[in-house]
A and B are shown apart, each in its own frame.
Chain A
Amino acid sequence: MEEVLYNILGAVVTFIVAFVVGMTYGGLTRKITARVQNRKGPPFYQNFIDAFKLASKKTAIHHGVMHLMGPAFLMVTSVMTLLIVPVLAGNNWFPNLNFHGDLIFLLYIMTFGPLGMALGAGQTGNPNSAIGVTRGLSQMVGFEIPWVMSLVALMIQYHTTSITGLMEVQAQSGTWLMLSSPFAFIAAVMAMFGMFRYSPFDIVGAPTELASGPVSENGGKFLFVMMSAGSVFTFAKLTLYVDLFMGGASNLVVLLIKTFLLYMIPVLYGVTSPRYRTEQAVRWFWGWPTFFGFLAIIQAVILK
């Protein structure tokens, strides 16, 4: 019983860290985007203000059961991803669910939330939501291919499908996987563009044409939960990348530096890019990123 309570405490602490870091990153992104576009931009803590404002709103209307469940579905994915991914390497404080699932499980749990939320968005009846969802799913088929190729390359090269296993490989050899499996890293980073949905791959929630797409009927508490889910998910995904390719992090400061640097790749690429149409985006992912994915697999087969 005590162990269970301890685990729950660990999960809550991890969640709070992820929430704060994710929200801050979101705020910083807004600031950076603004500076690039020669605006002043909001303060970096603006996202916290927004979140607490949304959380304190009363809910007046709803569109039915699935609509009510949508945000909770989304949160399940974010938190589960966070619990499966080891936040700090070689640290036994909060093991969470690190040893309970592997990469394939992670790939699938990562699709749970978006689909659940898509159902919620569907019940609202807003055509923009559904259009956004189909675009999102199409884009997902696009970027999942190089992403999976990169993961498969890692798995076959190091004979393990677990994240902790891959971290151990890096700890033992002393080199990061981004250096020893560079093609896998390139493919994964290119897939990351689609995962984070910054320009040029932001057609899913394109504010100007789809009224933010899937989230368009959600306000107040709904939006608060979705926003926090997004932030937590951002942090979890970045941590996953750091764990897989950059040897994990032994303390929080190193983790923050590494994740922030990684996060800047899609953000900075995004602020200077226009928007792709869905089929252009999908084909982009099936072009160079998939090519690098192939190279990664070939390298893994040779070095196996």
Chain B
Amino acid sequence: METYSIIFAIFLGGAVLTYFAGKLNSILQDILFLGSVLVPTYLFFSGVSFGSAMPFSLEGISLLWGIDHYSWLFALIVLGLGSLAAVYAIGYMKGKERKGYFYFNFILSVMSMLGIVVSQDLISFFIFWEIMTWSSYLMVIYNGKDIQRVGIKYFVFSAIGAYAMLMGIVIVHSITHTFFIEDMIQAYGHMSLQLQIWIPILFLIAFAVKAAMMPLHVWAPGAYSNAPMAYTSLFSGALSKMGVYGMVLILVTLVSRLPQGIWFREVLAWLGGITAAVGTLWAIKQDDAKKLLAYSSVAQLGYIITGVAIGTELGMLAGLFLAVMHALFKGTLFMAVGAIEKQTGTTNFTEITGLIRKMPWTFLASLMSIIALAGIPPLGGFVGKWMLYESLITSDHYLLVILIFFASTAGFLYCYKFLFGFFLGQEEKEWEHVKEAPATMVVPMILMSVFMFVLGTFPGIILKPINNGLMDLGFVDSYKHLWETSVIFNNWGDHVILQPILYSIIAIFLFFLILVVWKGYKGTRYVTTKDISTSGEVPKEDENLTFSVGFTQPFLRAVAPVMRRQIDKYYTEFAKGLEGLFEFMRRIYTGNAQTYALYVVVFVVIVLLFKDVLF
């Protein structure tokens, strides 16, 4: 299979060329960057066929690259979002510093993620995993801000995950003597119970870190919000899905063969639920859009983890469908925040208001993604949420479904906060000059909104590849049984028929919209947000009526007791303890040769004094 070699050669060569092209010409650099993301994408979807593996050998270790329907689904997320984010990045990075650095890491990230999904052996899997971690780490510290607090935290957690995975790989290799994933799965059934329990745990730790699952999520809010937004849309949309990708593989191929596997599933599902609830609560509290979306990503990944951990067909469909949806809507939302950041210079809700008339397309894209995020019909998020609830109810997770429901209802608060904070509310003079973002940034957002809309009524478009992937993993075909092109079923035969619902919604909406605006619309005039009823008084031009500080105060007061505890604090305490230990070590290793000489003398004296006791 030549295609794989060509694809990865273009990625690697493109990354290097793009980096150096910046020295020559900025436009050439942009073109090279786009080319080195889009050309491999095209080659992948046109040239790579299922089931065709590429075995090769490196330093005596035989490796295997190939693709099945399951990994194709994730390749679709990575390359689809990667291409759109690349187009967006051209507009976003215009006039910014260190473009080469950004493009280089961007291409490497896309390459490494594609590498992860095509790897069918543990060595290339691990190498691509590390490239992904490194390139995303370099992106997190792109701004040069908070390297200590954010960058190191991300790196430490990634390292914990990577070492856990490495340990797992070594153990597997010591037993099977090959690195093929297929062989690991084969050998797993014959291992001792202890190993059967530890190997999935080691791998799951690595994947849980990337998927930002409680309690390993603390790196996520900082890292997501610190990276440039053009990259964060990929970071949160696709890179976190790699954790889900691995998690599903481990759960389906290994854990499901273990009689005790049910406990893995239950613990994971509950951790996912708790992640969703806690992430949502913290998202509500944030005043910075990047932070809000970052916590919201953590929460959304919680739903996905819960779905795949349940492990029924419906749960799997729900989890993977939500994964696709999350890539779409969170990608769009981070892009929207990037657009706003570029046009206004800030992303703080307490500073910006009333952008709706200045940035209408960004608003439209945000609105669509927020509706999808909230899971409200008729957009795609609803299909995923519906399947998730139904899978929880039909698989006897009664309390978990309440927790998930709480998270997703509370999610409306931050959804509204996002839209209101940026686009609605008082229009202020300070932001009068703001213009819509350039077309390269708006078009990808609008495209993704269209996908979300279409998937809301015709989820079968994505459920089909998901179903194929699940069949590759050993699930039975669920077409006509759990889903059709625009009908979704649960295990008890209850269903939602999406098409008539969409048409009814549109009909009702248009009828009443026309009823309100049709007659005499020409006679109406637009009035500013200062021209409002405030108990008969007319507010003056300079009067501040903006409401954004303490926006969700009433709700936060109600849940205050829950939010007093913070896992991050415990980690910080732990880190401080370690620092104390290192400080003590530093006192011993002074770096002074005479002190060391003293140590030697003391040691010899002690040995001589107690030689009878010791030897």
Q: Which residues of A contact B (CB under 8 A)?
A: 11, 58-66, 68-69, 71-73, 75-76, 79-80, 83, 97, 99-102, 104-105, 108-109, 111-112, 115, 118-119, 122-128, 130-131, 133-135, 137-138, 140-142, 144-145, 148-149, 152, 155-156, 159-162, 165, 211, 216-217, 221-222, 225, 277-279, 282-283, 286, 293, 297, 300-301
Contacts and interface: CB of A to CB of B under 8 A. Distances in A.
B357 interface: yes
B531 interface: yes
Contacts of A79: 504, 508
Interface stretch (B48-56, B176-184, B509-517): B509-517
A15 to B, nearest CB: 9
Contacts of A112: 376-377
Contacts of A73: 509
Interface residues of B, number: 79
Contacts of A135: 554
Interface string B343-371: 00000000000101100000000010000
A156 B492 CA distance: 11
Interface string B372-409: 00111100001001100110010010110110011001
Nearest to A284: B558
B545 interface: yes
B555 A282 contact: yes
A118 B516 CA distance: 17
A63 B427 CA distance: 11
Given A61-B526, A133-B416, A138-B554, A104 B534 contact: no
Nearest to B525: A61
Given A11-B504, A62-B526, A108-B375, 9 more contacts: A101-B496, A111-B412, A115-B416, A122-B420, A137-B555, A140-B409, A145-B402, A145-B406, A211-B534
A297 B529 contact: no
B393 A63 contact: no
A125 B545 CA distance: 8
B280 to A, nearest CB: 10
Contact of B399 (A108, A118, A297): A297
With most chain A CB atoms within 10 A of its CB, the pick from B516, B532, B545 is B516
B516 to A, nearest CB: 5
A156 to B, nearest CB: 6
A286 to B, nearest CB: 8
B557 interface: yes
Contact of A127 (B402, B526, B528, B545): B545
A60 B524 contact: yes
A236 to B, nearest CB: 13
A209 B555 CA distance: 18
B419 A61 contact: no
15 contacts: A62-B525, A75-B512, A80-B505, A97-B501, A101-B496, A115-B376, A134-B416, A134-B553, A134-B555, A137-B412, A141-B406, A160-B492, A278-B555, A293-B402, A300-B398
A119 B419 contact: yes
Given A76-B509, A283-B558, A105 B356 contact: no
B508 A76 contact: yes
